[in-house]
């Protein structure tokens, strides 16, 4: 593992020359063109840009869900772009957590069980796990819905469960791609406020791709992405 004695304001994410091109034919799509950026620990960064501008591509590469054509990504001192499948699996388990636009919950498990999945993955003892799950459900305001399945919850509730689950494993980096995309304005607002709050309380770093001006106002920093290039 990498150096564990990192100071709080060291960069959590360092991206250098990141390039991703889809397709090789006569009309390749240059989704990212040599992007450089840094995100400091504890920061909440909003990535904004029109649809098709490359937000998702960037987040995928940072989280190790995809591989770049060129460039490097370093998360918490680990070079993500150099990891093999197992390494990236471990990265997702230990360091990075995702919040998906479509929530990505397990339909067969209850809200509490969904939140407990990352803890079970590390074989956290049952008592400690239950305690943390209860805490997180409290945090996202779903204490009374612990035993409901995703199918029995509203979209906003499901996304809150997803956020609780993302936080359960105490990740260093939270990646959320348009987390409010499928929610109505009011619910979206609540979810965004929740994200802002947990970044403070849990001390995680977050990168959130969004269209939403409210999210931009809540972010520490806003990165604009256009035509595969990033600017402040």
Ligand X SMILES: Nc1ncnc2c1ncn2[C@@H]1O[C@H](COP(=O)(O)OP(=O)(O)O)[C@@H](O)[C@H]1O
Query: Which residues of this chain interact with ligand X, rule CB under 6 A?
Result: 22-23, 29, 31, 49, 51-57
Question: Residue 215 to residues 102, 194, 197, 232: CA-CA distances in angstroms?
Answer: 18, 11, 12, 15
Q: How far apart are CA 167 and CA 17, in angstroms?
A: 30
State the minimum distance, in angstroms, from the CB of residue 177 to Mg ion: 6
| Interface with other proteins in residues 167-206 (CB under 8 A) | 175, 177-178, 181-182
Region of residue 211 (phi > 0: left; psi between -120 and 50: alpha; otherwise: beta): alpha
What, of ligand X, Mg ion, other proteins, none, does residue 90 touch, CB below 5 to 8 Å by kind?
A: other proteins
Site string (122-151) toward Mg ion, x via CB under 5 A: ------------------------------
Please report how close the Cβ of residue 5 comes to other proteins at its closest, in angstroms: 25
The entry of other proteins, ligand X, Mg ion, none near residue 49 (CB within 5 to 8 angstroms by kind) is ligand X
Helix (H, G, I), strand (E, B) or coil at 186: helix
* Half-sphere exposure (Cβ direction) of 118: Cα atoms closer than 13 Å: 26
- Residue 24 and residue 82: Cα distance in Å, rounded? 23
Contact call for residue 84 and other proteins (CB under 8 A): no
> What CA–CA distance (Å, rounded) separates 197 from 189?
12
- Asked if 107 interacts with other proteins (CB under 8 A), we say yes
Q: Which does 120 bind (CB under 5 to 8 A by kind): Mg ion, other proteins, ligand X, none?
A: other proteins
Give the span between the Cα atoms of 48 and 232, in whole angstroms: 10
Could you tell me the two tokens for 206? 């977050």
Q: Which residues bind other proteins (CB under 8 A)?
A: 56, 59-60, 63, 65-66, 85-86, 89-94, 97-98, 100-102, 104-109, 113, 117-118, 120-121, 123-126, 129, 165, 175, 177-178, 181-182
């Amino acid at each position: 593992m990498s150096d564990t004695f990192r100071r709080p304001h060291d960069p959590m994410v360092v991206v250098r020359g990141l390039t991703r091109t889809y397709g090789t034919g006569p009309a390749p799509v240059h989704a990212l063109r040599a992007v450089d950026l840094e995100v400091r620990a504890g920061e909440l960064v909003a990535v904004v840009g029109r649809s098709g501008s490359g937000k998702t591509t960037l987040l995928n590469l940072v989280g190790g869900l995809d591989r770049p054509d060129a460039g490097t990504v370093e998360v918490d001192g680990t070079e993500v772009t150099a990891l093999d499948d197992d390494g990236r699996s471990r990265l997702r388990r230990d360091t990075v957590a995702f919040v998906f636009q479509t929530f990505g919950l397990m339909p067969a498990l209850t809200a509490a069980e969904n939140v407990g999945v990352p803890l079970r993955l590390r074989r956290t003892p049952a008592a400690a796990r239950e305690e943390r799950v209860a805490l997180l459900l409290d945090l996202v305001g779903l204490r009374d819905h612990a035993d409901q399945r995703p199918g029995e919850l509203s979209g906003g509730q499901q996304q809150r469960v997803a956020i609780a689950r993302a936080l359960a494993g105490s990740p260093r980096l939270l990646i959320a791609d348009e987390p409010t995309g499928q929610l109505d304005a009011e619910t979206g607002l609540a979810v965004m406020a929740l994200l802002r709050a947990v970044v403070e309380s849990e001390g995680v770093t977050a990168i959130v791709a969004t269209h939403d001006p409210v999210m931009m106002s809540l972010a520490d920093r806003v990165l604009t992405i256009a035509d595969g290039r990033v600017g402040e």
